[in-house]
Structure 1
């Protein structure tokens, strides 16, 4: 069996490969990558990143976003989101953005992978999955980047925060909020606590 055929035998459809991943099966990785791209077996996604597409009746499918990002980062610890996710909160955001955001620990910047643009933000902490509380905190963190009326969105976001389970939203604010977000959201609960104490004392008189 030729080296190229042996290399093909190890490829699995739907997988994304880095150049370094293929060196274990060939001593002429660059020449063989060129041949595999030329004959359509692999698609070049970006420098050093290749995709072996799945075939359907409609043609080859694009790579799964999570697989693409995992291969690019060489890391499992990341969170993919989009400003479009804020629309689920019901706080006045309605715009649709062609933007994918990747919170991670390694890379920062804008990268095009497989014809899709990703905005990588290196952060010390982020959750493993999206939650309503995280989306609200993230929205306020990034309020200045939104196209909507920022004052109106902020007003509705603060009202939304008051309706959330206090322990969850307070923990999320503490873990993921920037300085401004912590100040804005923490003041809500401090004010409500003061009102409750004042009301309680009046009732005892």
Structure 2
């Protein structure tokens, strides 16, 4: 089969918005230069779009114009390595999906054990948040909630009170074993995060010895300024939150 026919056939089978590189064709096509040359010809012809150097995708056309690939696709090479999870979307990337803001940001934040300087990829600014916990597929949803709690003051287009209400709802939806795992993960977060996690779990009526263990990790003379309403978090002072 001709290289051009093989490439077109394989691209036709890919979903729209899926990002690929010349390496996706390397197992069947050995001529790297020929693959790259043909992909660039397809870009020039308007058959595919180029996201950044060496990265292409099938455009999805709507009445509002061409849709950009979703954020996961844009940075999937930074999130997975041969099927292993090495990073996860967090911060500005997931506030909207968690129901914490109506804003959709062009800033992509990634949680990783080893971070690197921020950089741009097409219209997206990509930055990193240091995650000290082991990153696993099961831990990612919990780490995303913990990151939102840690950076609660930076969530755009909302208030601390609204964020506390929404995060309380997210915590309520967790199963008991997930709440226990979340508390264990807080050990590698700042004390202010641990305090707010404890207060929010306490607020929704969660009671467990592990919550008492969490409380004991806090310095009794430290306080954490949040300016949250007493109506929203009536037990705030019990967790040294002001």
TM-score over 0.5 for the alignment?
yes
Alpha-carbon distance in structure 2 between the residues aligned to 1:9 and 1:18: 15
Larger deviation, residues 7-16 vs 106-115: 106-115
Which structure is larger by alpha-carbon Rg, 1 or 2?
A: 1
Greater mean deviation of Cα atoms: 65-74 or 30-39: 65-74
Q: Any unmatched runs of 5+ in structure 2?
A: 200-210, 217-242
| Contact 1:42 1:51 (8 Å CA) reproduced | yes
| 1:79 counterpart residue number | 88
**Which consecutive residues of structure 1, in runs of 5 or more, have no partner in the other structure?**
195-205
Contact 1:101 1:120 in 2 (8 A): yes
TM-score, normalised with respect to structure 2: 0.53
Partner of 2:37: 31
Match of 1:198 in 2: none
- Output aligned runs, 1:119-198, within 5 Å: 119-121=127-129, 123=131, 124-126=133-135, 128=137, 134=143, 136-143=145-152, 145-146=154-155, 156=164, 160=168, 164=172, 168-176=178-186, 177-181=188-192, 183-185=194-196, 189-190=211-212
Shift of 1:185: 4.5
Q: Which residue of 1 aligns with 2:103?
A: 96
Report the TM-score, using the length of structure 1 for normalisation.
0.60
Q: Tell me the distance in 2 between the aligned counterparts of 1:174 and 1:85.
A: 26
Aligned counterparts, 1:8-19, within 5 A: 8-11=8-11, 12-13=13-14, 14=16, 15-19=18-22
Shift of 1:29: 2.6
CA distances 1:7-33 after superposition (whole Å, capped 9, x unpaired): 222213423212322334262233223
Aligned length, in residue pairs: 186
Aligned-CA RMSD value? 4.5
